[in-house]
Structure 1
Amino acid sequence: MHPIPEQDNPSYTGSWLICTACGTQFPTDDKQQVKTCFICDDPRQFTPPTGQSFTTLDELCSNHKNTWTPFSGDDDFISIVTKPKVGIGQRAILIKTPKGNVLWDCITLLDDETVENIKGMGGLKAIVISHPHYYSTHADWGRAFNCPVYLAAEDKQWTTQTSPQQVFVTETEMDINIDGEASGVKVLKLGGHFPGSFVTLYNGRLLIADTLLTTPAGLGSWDADALGNARSRPKGMNSFSFMWSIPNFIPLAPDELERMWAIIKKYEFRSTHGAFLKTDIVKTEAEMKQRVLDSMQIQIKYMGYGNHSMLKETAD
């Protein structure tokens, strides 16, 4: 399916079809025109055993609600999650900067309450979406807040519609400027999961979505045993996996990890924040970068590439 141009000043998209598996909106209410979701037909995603089905924004607004959760100890970041779950269930993250608000990633549900809440906090100056699985209703979001929506140029084929708000990023590293001034929000195109997969860095926090997949071992705590005795984290634990397909368990190749590392190693960050609530790792800058490298090297080693050049890399 080719992207459908946005209608002139559309005032109603509530009846447009939305894939229930991934939350992507298609700009039509005609079920004869859209019978399948080409994003879910891609090998990185899947169609559920129950088959392909669609909902609408009107239906979602009638029985769903967005919830708001500030980061622990940092009100400049607010997670927005829809309950009950819609599609993949990812969060969007509102980033507050002195120059204005930036939304990291996008969720499908956009209702009047959400628009009012965000406008009450100053609106949005930009939206950045990590990869096509989270494109959702981004054209509606961009229109509602009259702001640019930054998408990777490499992933343009996965858009279902065109919009004046869309800005396709060709750079590997990009600063988000607001009204001609730097906001401090930096977008890094690491690729991997999709050719244009982004991460975003602001104030020492790295928002990773699915570009780096947070693991249970990354979230685990070994600060004390059952008797309260302090102990160190066991060696050999990873904190992230690097996947071409997450639900279908297809890992990225070592050379791709090496390319991603060449970009991310230049930056310092004290925490990572994944696509879902409770996927936050907060440590020191030195430990976080080491955890990323360790995780890449563990994946490469156990894929059988014991002589790969990445195994000689250091985080210094």
Structure 2
Amino acid sequence: MTSFWICRTCAVEHATRPEVCAICADERQWVPASGQSWTTLDELAAEGRHIEVEELEPDLFGLQTTPGVGIGQQAKLLRTPAGSLLWDPLGFVDDDGAAAVRDLAGIAGVVAVAASHPHMFGVQVEWSRRLAGDAGPVPVLVAEADAGWVARPDDSIVPWSGEREVLPGVTLSQPGGHFPGSAVVHWAAGAGGRGVLLSGDTIFANPDRTASFLRSYPNRIPLSGAVALRVAGHVARRPFDRMYNNFDGVIPADARAVVLRSARRHAAWVRGDFDHLT
């Protein structure tokens, strides 16, 4: 018997199967012209899905579902001696994928599952259960401001706001923007001690190694210049040399300065400073 449903378009888990996925019906996402479609973990597995893991840098790993599911994000497993954080969890999990994560996390285990924003919830509760240790399911940290988007309530879900040190030197914070609770992870020991930012798409690493600030990525709705500057200023409070988005995008060096420059560029364009070029 199916215990929960997964939206085919965003791959977020739902306790019930509504007429339409509220996350996809919002202007920041989309419902296909063909209409709403649902699936299950068993169906996805039968279609040949599996999880691939790659090392991005020491103690940071990218997880990808192949073939892709939903939005197709690359989850991140951030490992420290005190435990690991699973960030932007995939919309698919199987026994092999969970075992791979447990093996990478080692004896300290996964201490938390968290998403940058509701589009990245994936099957977060299912990951929590599959990674359960002696203390039970892994806590799923959900921003209070975005808790209304949770479609599969569970006792493992822990609301948070502001800032939260998940592990020593690993801090969640909420610059907002894309969603009111949009979050990032600052990892002080990353990039050889120069600092890493896991930005989800709160700040998006572009192909030219600049950054974007959008309300909707698929529908190309910008944030205001003031919000872009606020978000950049928030993350710039801590040093970071490298930034990873929620796919395979990365700003490999000087990322803090790049984010600040990109926010100023964004603000100038939406303000009309460069209208003479159009």
Matched position secondary structure for 2:231: helix
Whether 2:20 is the aligned partner of 1:36: answer: yes
Distance 1:290 1:120, change over 3 A: closer
Deviations 1:273-315 (A, max 9, x none): 01112x11211xxx32221111011111111255xxxxxxxxx
Q: 1:206 aligns with which of 191, 197, 201?
A: 197
Whether 2:10 is the aligned partner of 1:22: answer: yes
Aligned residue identity for 2:164: M
| Alpha-carbon separation, structure 2, partners of 1:206 and 1:297 | 19
The alignment yields a C-alpha RMSD, in angstroms, of 1.5
Aligned length: 258
Aligned residue identity for 2:11: G
| Alpha-carbon separation, structure 1, partners of 2:4 and 2:255 | 42
Matched position secondary structure for 1:78: strand
In the superposition, the TM-score normalised over structure 1's length comes to: 0.78
Whether 2:139 is the aligned partner of 1:148: answer: yes
Superposed displacement of residue 163, structure 1: 1.1
Q: 1:304 aligns with which of 250, 259, 271?
A: 271
**Worse-superposed segment, 158-167 or 112-121:** 112-121
Matched position secondary structure for 2:53: strand
Q: What are the ranges of 5 or more consecutive residues in structure 2 without an aligned counterpart?
A: 190-194, 274-278
In the superposition, the TM-score normalised over structure 2's length comes to: 0.88
Aligned to 1:174: 164
Aligned residue identity for 1:215: N
Give yes or no for contact 1:15–1:58 (8 Å, CA) kept in 2.
no
Whether 2:240 is the aligned partner of 1:269: answer: yes
| Alpha-carbon separation, structure 1, partners of 2:14 and 2:114 | 20
Aligned to 1:58: 42
| Alpha-carbon separation, structure 1, partners of 2:15 and 2:232 | 38
Aligned residue identity for 2:203: L
Deviations 1:40-97 (A, max 9, x none): 00010001222211111111122200000101xx230110000001000001111110
Aligned to 2:276: none
| Alpha-carbon separation, structure 2, partners of 1:276 and 1:150 | 20
**Worse-superposed segment, 134-143 or 253-262:** 253-262
Give yes or no for contact 1:23–1:88 (8 Å, CA) kept in 2.
yes
| Alpha-carbon separation, structure 1, partners of 2:176 and 2:45 | 33
Give yes or no for contact 1:245–1:251 (8 Å, CA) kept in 2.
yes
Aligned to 2:52: 67
Q: How does 1:1-316 map to 2 (within 5 A)?
A: 14=2, 16-28=4-16, 33-62=17-46, 63-71=48-56, 74-121=57-104, 122=106, 123-144=109-130, 145=132, 146-171=137-162, 173-177=163-167, 183-202=168-187, 203=189, 204-218=195-209, 239-277=210-248, 279-283=249-253, 287-304=254-271, 306=273
Give yes or no for contact 1:92–1:104 (8 Å, CA) kept in 2.
yes
| Alpha-carbon separation, structure 1, partners of 2:140 and 2:269 | 38
| Alpha-carbon separation, structure 2, partners of 1:119 and 1:291 | 34
| Alpha-carbon separation, structure 1, partners of 2:52 and 2:250 | 18
Superposed displacement of residue 208, structure 1: 0.8
| Alpha-carbon separation, structure 1, partners of 2:213 and 2:251 | 16
Superposed displacement of residue 262, structure 1: 3.1
Aligned residue identity for 1:137: V
Aligned residue identity for 2:174: K
Matched position secondary structure for 1:217: coil
Aligned residue identity for 2:41: L
Superposed displacement of residue 139, structure 1: 1.1
Matched position secondary structure for 2:9: coil
| Alpha-carbon separation, structure 2, partners of 1:264 and 1:209 | 13
Q: Which of 1 and 2 has greater Rg?
A: 1
